[in-house]
Chains A and B, each alone.
Chain A
Amino acid sequence: MKSRKSEARAAAVLIAPFVVAYLVLFIYPTVKMVELTFTDAPLIGEGAWVGVRNYVRMWSDRQFWNALWNTLYFVLLTVVPNTVIGLLIAMMVSRLKGWLQSVVLAAFFLPYILPVSVVTLIWQWVLDPQFGIAQYPLSFFVGERVPVFRTRAWIMPTVGFVTIWWTCGFNILLFLAGLRNISSEYYDAAALDGAGRWKQFRHITLPLIWPVAALVLTIQLILQLKIFDQLYLLTLGGATNTTMVLVQAIYRQAFVTNKGGYGATIALALFVLIVALSVLQYQFLRARDR
């Protein structure tokens, strides 16, 4: 048998690349971020120690609160709808068989693997105020053409809609796997008892799919709190402050106005928010599960 020592040495070699990358690209930047929040450093260069001034400033910064509310608004618009739509589509797809199922699933899933900039270019075209094809149904329902990415009340819901179109495929896949794990015996037995579609859904599908739904909700919550790319691209570089979200506020402070210290402070706030909310939500969902 090999000695303990040689085993530890082999382990050191094997974990070294990951551990080095982890320390340099993850631990160090995280520690550095916390340190930066106590300085007035620009993005590049040294700054002076300012104590908690960045935190005080953030507390009274209307732009920060605005970004926080916008982020939460976006979460509200996307997390639950994306999960519900994902489950509905998964149930529709799971009824189909063979090649038809593959084709339909691919149609729903394909957007998910596209780069964000491709997704936003497609929707900018489809929703173009002058030439976009979606303006036909839109003007039918609203009564006029809507420049959705330039109309304040429309921006967030539209970006939310595009986000759901883009990312729902992921939820569909997870739900499909969950649905396949439900034994058909349950449904056969229920059908024998004369339970209709709704009763089967309510008493078999829903309780058995709940753990997957909890997982999807948690993943969605964390994902949507980090909203930036599609909003930034669809609002033409976030021209207005009205739709500013947290990641955009970090970007704005650190990269546009060159306030590295303050940008890091908002980044830390996002960091804490995501960790806290995801732990909380997970506990809450687990509790309901029991």
Chain B
Amino acid sequence: MTRRFDPVGIGLTTFTLLAATLWAFPLYWAVITTLKPEHETIRPGVHFLPEDWTLGGYIHIIQNTNLGTWYVNSIVTAVAVTVLVVVMSAACGFAISQLRFPGRRLLYLMILASFMVPMQALIVTHFILMNDLGLVNTWTGIILPQLIAPISVIVYKQFFDSVPKELREAAIVDGANWFQLLFRVFLPMNWGITTALAIITFIAAWNNFLWPFLVTTSERTMTITVGITQVKDAFGVYYARQLSGAVLAALPVAAAYLIFQRRVTQAIMLTAGIKG
């Protein structure tokens, strides 16, 4: 079709650009606020750029809070959750997809059913369990309840289902056992899926709030997403400092998204049940 002058189209595009700018504006506003001195943030009027650029907010929050510790706690727990979830899901999804064993259908049905169960409803008994095991205020305590990820098992199962039968037969003829089949044939064929699931699991674990909030009662064991909410109580209203903490907390996930944009999109489609 030939291009014609299309006023409605131009209007729609302009509107879309305006809407996107407005939508992202709070993000810009938060970041730019962190680069202002505290007294500039509360000056009346709208100032889109700082008059005196400063990293004072960041320096203050790094020096005066447990931010470093929170960061370490977040990295350790999010990485552990990611690795464990991916490995467990791949192994389980592979077994359900490729191996015959008693209880296979039952297991799959139970995983499917557990989909609907809200983790928020289990906070009471999770806490009791973690307390019984002596894991309150520990990394393990933060990690364990986050390991239930039935969706990753289902994603792996579906992908392993679509691997051609011939590949599997050939590997078995070559004398590969089941574990070699998984780690040498099936997983390498699906690195894309593994990467996508790993990124989204990491983002979810990093962002998780409710459970780390409940299971950590001391400032030193908090993750960063919980920790930054404690800052405001200590300082009153100092927005440059508070938002500096927020920017630092968001940095890894924002970077992960911007670098792996396509993988993140793919993972969201997969976990929502749309193959992409």
Contact = CB atoms under 8 A, between A and B. Distances in A.
B139 interface: no
B41 to A, nearest CB: 7
Contact of A125 (B20, B116, B121, B243): B243
B124 A122 contact: no
Interface string B121-156: 111111111010000000000001101100001000
A14 B99 contact: yes
Interface stretch (A55-63, A87-95, A139-147, A150-158): A87-95
A174 B272 CA distance: 8
Interface stretch (B21-29, B51-59, B188-196): B21-29
A195 to B, nearest CB: 14
How big is chain A's contact interface, by range? 35 or more
B250 A114 contact: yes
B222 to A, nearest CB: 11
Nearest to A131: B42
B125 A36 contact: yes
Chain A interface main SS type = helix
Interface in B90-132: 91-92, 94-96, 99-102, 104, 107, 110-111, 114, 116-118, 120-129, 131
Interface of B: 1, 8-9, 12-13, 15-17, 19-21, 23-24, 26-27, 29-30, 33, 41-42, 46, 84, 87-89, 91-92, 94-96, 99-102, 104, 107, 110-111, 114, 116-118, 120-129, 131, 144-145, 147-148, 153, 172, 177-179, 182, 203, 206-207, 209-210, 214, 224-226, 228-229, 232, 237, 239, 242-243, 245-247, 249-250, 253-254, 256-258, 261, 264-265, 268-269, 272-274, 276
Interface of A: 1-2, 4, 7-8, 10-15, 17-19, 21-22, 24-26, 28-30, 32-33, 36, 43-44, 89, 92-93, 95-96, 102-104, 106-111, 113-118, 120-123, 125-126, 128, 130-131, 133, 136, 165, 170, 173-174, 177-178, 188, 197, 212, 215, 219, 222, 225-226, 228-229, 233, 247, 250-251, 254-255, 260, 263-264, 267-268, 270-271, 274-275, 278-279
25 contacts: A2-B172, A11-B99, A11-B104, A13-B179, A14-B91, A36-B125, A44-B131, A92-B19, A93-B16, A96-B16, A106-B261, A107-B20, A107-B21, A111-B26, A122-B27, A126-B26, A128-B237, A177-B269, A212-B274, A226-B120, A250-B124, A254-B123, A267-B123, A271-B117, A278-B116
